[in-house]
């Protein structure tokens, strides 16, 4: 028995040694890469960014409320400007950790490998980084960690001012447009927006330059005009000029890759169409109304929910017989997340001419205004005869260009809650024909003592005060000394 035990133990030891010899090699999954590629990191960054700006929290309970596209059916605190701090922290973290850091890692891989086309791939990632910083600085009112934000050795980055960030973004876009070279390889896979099309990324970068320039045009007109000239210069690759050239993140029919708002509506109905938005669409018999909203089940009418009701205060609770709910245009499984589209570009061209910026742009403001409306309607599937009929109801008025462009751009940006809100702040538009206000005050009042009509910025996540206290306090000094949602963005002059 003793000899048998010795033999058994010896066999087990021999077997164990044999099993561990080459164990790591044997347990490698041949179908899974050990290290992420730059293409995978780019896809992940684009996915994370699109989710961050289009989910039920940052779009539904933030952007879509502040732009007054939607109202709340149950929990209305956010529509009355009382935010959930945990959600704000996640939004901030996602932009920096799950988007910007992913892009920086993709660029690091390309710099180290230097495979043919690496300069194009680095430039594309840099343009997406610029787009991400553009959202961050505008959402949080200007000062954000920027030049030192992605330094792993510096956990307390300085906050650059909004003016510094904008100057940096314009310089970056100028540089990347020059670096992009269509004769060199690019991303073969991984680019969910343009499939690595270098010329498409040039057009996107130039169109983004237009947006940034116009947003600061009231306070830095000379710098804005210079940036617009560069963006419009044909030698730099042009701007988005067709719907097919629009930057859209396209979702797939099934989770986890379906539109995040679609997934949220499968669980419960937290959002309805807002009364201000529905009423304005009905005022001019807008043919996009049945595309944007669902009719009441019992009557076929379109009814919006009063904006900013106290929770439980005579709200519809999402009852489709009482209030219109968002249609598939916004909450369908494959409804795309719009990064920057043809309609917005057309409205920007109208504004450039309305401001008489003298940048060499031909045409008229009225022409581009009408083209912007038409582009929005065609994207929504509206028939041409209905587009022509609508244009007659909303003529361009030179003396009220902000109201004309602002109101129609706002409608055209439906689903882009954050950008719709920012344009509302910048242009302060009213109905151009009646002069009446389009937006409503929260029906049951604001829950933020610093905000009466609409938040002017998102407050910084509170954890910044403890993690990066010195620079956080310096940033607050530039915002009047308080982390208030009532402080205007630096470009919001009026």
Q: Are 430 and 445 in contact (CB under 8 A)?
A: no
CA distance 377 to 279: 18
Q: Are 180 and 201 in contact (CB under 8 A)?
A: yes
- Integer CA distances (angstroms), 119 to 6, 167, 175, 183, in order: 64, 23, 12, 12
- What are the two backbone dihedrals, phi and then psi, of residue 239, each rounded to the nearest 5 degrees? -125, 175
Strand partners, 249: 337
The residue with tokens 């996107």 is: 204
**Predicted TM-score (pTM) of this structure:** 0.93
- Among 415, 330, 345, 340, residue whose Cα is nearest residue 128: 340
- What are the two backbone dihedrals, phi and then psi, of residue 406, each rounded to the nearest 5 degrees? -60, -50
Helix/strand/coil for 36: coil
Burial class (CB within 10 angstroms; exposed 0-12, middle 13-18, buried 19+) of 463: middle
Q: Is the peptide bond before 256 cis (omega within 30 degrees of 0)?
A: yes
Q: Which two tokens stand for residue 433?
A: 């024909």
Task: Report pLDDT for 316.
Answer: 82
Instruction: Supply angle C-alpha 37, 99, 182, rounded to 5.
Output: 60
Q: Tell me the per-residue pLDDT of 311-365, one tens digit each, with 9 for 90 and over.
A: 777 578 899 999 999 999 999 999 999 999 999 999 999 999 999 999 999 999 9
The residue with tokens 């940052």 is: 58
Taking phi over 0 as left and psi of -120 to 50 as alpha, with beta for the rest, 155 belongs to: alpha
| pLDDT by position in tens, the chain (length 494) | 334 333 333 433 333 334 445 544 544 554 445 689 999 999 999 999 999 999 999 999 999 999 999 999 988 999 999 999 999 999 999 999 999 999 999 999 999 999 999 999 999 999 999 999 999 999 999 999 999 999 988 999 999 999 999 999 999 999 999 999 999 999 999 999 999 999 999 999 999 999 999 999 999 999 999 999 999 999 999 999 999 999 999 999 999 999 999 999 998 899 999 999 999 999 999 999 999 999 999 899 999 999 999 977 757 889 999 999 999 999 999 999 999 999 999 999 999 999 999 999 999 999 999 999 999 999 999 999 999 999 999 999 999 999 999 999 999 999 999 999 999 999 999 999 999 999 999 999 999 999 999 999 999 999 999 999 999 999 999 999 999 999 999 999 99
Q: Tell me the per-residue pLDDT of 120-160, one tens digit each, with 9 for 90 and over.
A: 999 999 999 999 999 999 999 999 999 999 998 899 999 99
Q: Tell me the per-residue pLDDT of 360-396, one tens digit each, with 9 for 90 and over.
A: 999 999 999 999 999 999 999 999 999 999 999 999 9
Helix/strand/coil for 305: strand
Walk me through the domains of the chain, giving residue ranges and CATH numbers. 40-73+80-255+335-478 (1.25.40.390)
Task: Report pLDDT for 376.
Answer: 98
CA distance 330 to 261: 8
Instruction: Supply angle C-alpha 460, 168, 148, rounded to 5.
Output: 55
Within 10 A of 427 (CB to CB), how many other CB atoms are there?
21
Task: Report pLDDT for 314.
Answer: 58
Burial class (CB within 10 angstroms; exposed 0-12, middle 13-18, buried 19+) of 96: middle
H helices present in 328-428, as ranges: 328-331, 342-354, 365-379, 384-393, 401-412, 417-427
CA torsion 106-107-111-117 (nearest 10°) is 90
- Among 424, 395, 390, 391, residue whose Cα is nearest residue 407: 424
Task: Report pLDDT for 75.
Answer: 87
Within 10 A of 367 (CB to CB), how many other CB atoms are there?
15
- Integer CA distances (angstroms), 331 to 223, 294, 301, in order: 39, 11, 20
Strand partners, 71: 272
Q: Which two tokens stand for residue 197?
A: 């099309």
- Among 189, 54, 178, residue whose Cα is nearest residue 119: 178
């Amino acid at each position: 028995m003793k000899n048998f035990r010795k033999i058994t133990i010896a066999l087990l030891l021999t077997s164990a040694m044999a099993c561990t010899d080459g164990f790591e090699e044997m347990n490698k999954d041949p179908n899974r890469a050990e290290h992420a590629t730059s293409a995978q990191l780019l896809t992940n960054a684009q996915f994370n960014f699109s989710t961050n700006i289009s989910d039920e929290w940052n779009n539904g309970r933030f952007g879509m409320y502040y732009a007054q596209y939607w109202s709340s059916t149950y929990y209305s605190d956010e529509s009355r400007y009382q935010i959930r701090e945990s959600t704000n922290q996640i939004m901030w973290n996602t932009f920096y950790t799950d988007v910007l850091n992913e892009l920086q890692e993709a660029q690091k891989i390309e710099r180290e490998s230097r495979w043919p086309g690496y300069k194009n791939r680095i430039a594309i990632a840099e343009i997406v980084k610029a787009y991400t910083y553009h959202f961050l600085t505008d959402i949080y009112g200007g000062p954000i960690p920027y030049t030192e934000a992605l330094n792993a050795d510096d956990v307390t980055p300085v906050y650059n001012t909004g003016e510094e960030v904008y100057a940096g973004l314009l310089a970056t876009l100028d540089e990347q447009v020059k670096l992009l070279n269509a004769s060199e390889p690019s991303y073969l896979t991984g680019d969910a927006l343009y499939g690595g099309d270098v010329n498409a990324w040039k057009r996107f970068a130039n169109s983004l330059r237009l947006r940034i320039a116009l947003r600061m045009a009231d306070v830095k007109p000379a710098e804005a005009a210079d940036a617009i000239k560069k963006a419009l210069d044909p030698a730099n690759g042009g701007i988005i000029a067709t719907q097919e050239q629009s930057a859209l993140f396209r979702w797939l029919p099934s989770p986890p890759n379906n539109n995040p708002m679609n997934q949220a509506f499968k669980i419960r109905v937290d959002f309805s169409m807002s009364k201000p938005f529905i009423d304005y669409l009905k005022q001019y018999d807008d043919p996009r109304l049945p595309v944007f909203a669902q009719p009441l089940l019992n009557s076929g009418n379109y009814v919006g929910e009063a904006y900013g009701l106290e929770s439980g205060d005579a709200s519809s609770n999402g009852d489709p017989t009482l209030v219109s709910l968002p249609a598939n245009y916004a909450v369908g499984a494959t409804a795309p997340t719009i990064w920057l589209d043809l309609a917005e570009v057309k409205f920007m061209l109208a504004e450039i001419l309305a401001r008489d910026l003298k940048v060499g742009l031909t045409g008229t403001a009225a022409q581009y205004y009408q083209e912007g409306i038409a582009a929005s309607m065609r994207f929504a599937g509206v028939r041409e005869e209905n587009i022509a009929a609508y244009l007659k109801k909303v003529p361009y008025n030179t003396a009220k260009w902000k109201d004309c462009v602002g109101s129609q751009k706002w409608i055209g940006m439906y689903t882009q809650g954050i950008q719709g809100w920012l344009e509302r702040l910048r242009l302060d538009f009213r109905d151009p024909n009646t002069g009446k206000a389009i937006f409503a005050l929260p029906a049951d009042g604001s829950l933020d003592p610093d905000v009466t009509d609409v938040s002017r910025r998102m407050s910084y996540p509170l954890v910044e005060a403890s993690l990066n206290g010195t620079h956080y306090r310096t940033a607050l000094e530039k915002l009047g000394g308080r982390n208030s949602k009532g402080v205007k963005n630096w470009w919001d002059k009026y």
